[in-house]
């Protein structure tokens, strides 16, 4: 069984996730820890719960989701897993950081590419990779069918959808991704998104929202 811990990090108020099992193994998803205090908070949680990080994942590589990649790599020796279409987005992230007054040193280690349909395992638990471009060219979600939850990044929010005006974004593509990859999931699916309410949100609420507010956008 996977447990889900969320931290709200950095000035953009991004949701960083730790997925961990009862054996003490953990996956870090989208480490947005920008400040040293945030890094210490994440590390302290791992220590307090006797957790060993074994994998580093990015749903996508906008700056607020990758601030902590380098720190995670240097602290825990983990290499980064992402979709290949996010490589250029990752390379561009420090330029975005300078633009927004949030300079940082980027991760430059080995990249491991994930593709639609790949399965990530943590002992007996599985996360299926869902390719959901539109917010960014290689956005992916991580779906746990057994426990009915998905780590959705910035694809879908409780009262909106991801923005598509950043480089590589495409509104029509995002709508298709939501319809074809997320709306087909069971109504019981819990969506853990990249900003805002990351508590349990029934997919039925998203379905109603999607029908009523098809063209809503966010600032993330």
What does pTM read for this prediction? 0.91
45 torsion bin: left (phi>0), alpha (psi -120 to 50), beta (else): alpha
What is the structure's pLDDT at 41? 98
What is the structure's pLDDT at 161? 83
Q: pLDDT digit string (tens) for 129-179?
A: 999 999 999 999 999 999 999 999 999 887 778 887 788 888 999 999 998
What is the structure's pLDDT at 213? 47
Q: Is the pLDDT of residue 59 over 70?
A: yes
Q: 3-212, what's its fold?
A: Metallo-beta-lactamase; Chain A (3.60.15)
At 214, is the secondary structure helix, strand, or coil? Answer: coil
At 29, is the secondary structure helix, strand, or coil? Answer: strand
Residue ranges covered by each domain of the chain: 3-212
Q: Cα torsion for 143, 148, 154, 155, to the nearest 10°? A: 80
Q: Pairing state of beta strands 119-122 and 111-113?
A: unpaired
Cα angle 13-15-18, degrees, rounded to a multiple of 5: 150
Q: pLDDT digit string (tens) for 79-88?
A: 999 999 999 9
Which residue from 67, 79, 21 is spatially nearest to 42, judged by alpha carbons?
67
**78: DSSP letter:** P
What is the structure's pLDDT at 193? 93
Q: pLDDT digit string (tens) for 185-220?
A: 888 888 999 998 754 445 555 555 555 444 444 445
């Amino acid at each position: 069984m996977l447990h889900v811990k969320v931290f709200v990090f950095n000035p953009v108020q991004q949701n960083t996730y730790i997925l961990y099992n009862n054996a003490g193994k953990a996956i870090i998803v989208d480490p947005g820890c920008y400040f040293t205090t945030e890094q210490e908070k994440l590390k302290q949680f791992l220590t307090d719960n006797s957790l060993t990080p074994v994998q580093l994942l990015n749903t996508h590589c906008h700056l607020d989701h990758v601030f902590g990649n380098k720190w995670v790599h240097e602290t825990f020796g983990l290499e980064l897993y992402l979709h290949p279409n996010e490589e250029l987005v990752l390379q561009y992230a420090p330029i975005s950081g300078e633009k927004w007054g949030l300079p940082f040193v980027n991760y430059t280690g080995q990249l491991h590419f994930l593709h639609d349909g790949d399965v990530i395992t943590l002992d007996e638990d599985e996360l299926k990779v869902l390719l959901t471009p539109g917010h960014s060219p290689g956005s992916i979600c991580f779906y746990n069918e057994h426990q009915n939850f998905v780590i959705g990044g910035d694809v879908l929010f409780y009262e909106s959808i991801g923005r598509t005006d950043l480089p590589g974004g495409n509104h029509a593509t995002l709508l298709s991704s939501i319809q074809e990859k997320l709306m087909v999931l069971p109504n019981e699916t819990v969506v853990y998104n990249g900003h805002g309410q990351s508590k349990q949100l029934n997919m039925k609420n998203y379905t109603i929202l999607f029908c009523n507010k098809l063209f809503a956008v966010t600032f993330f």
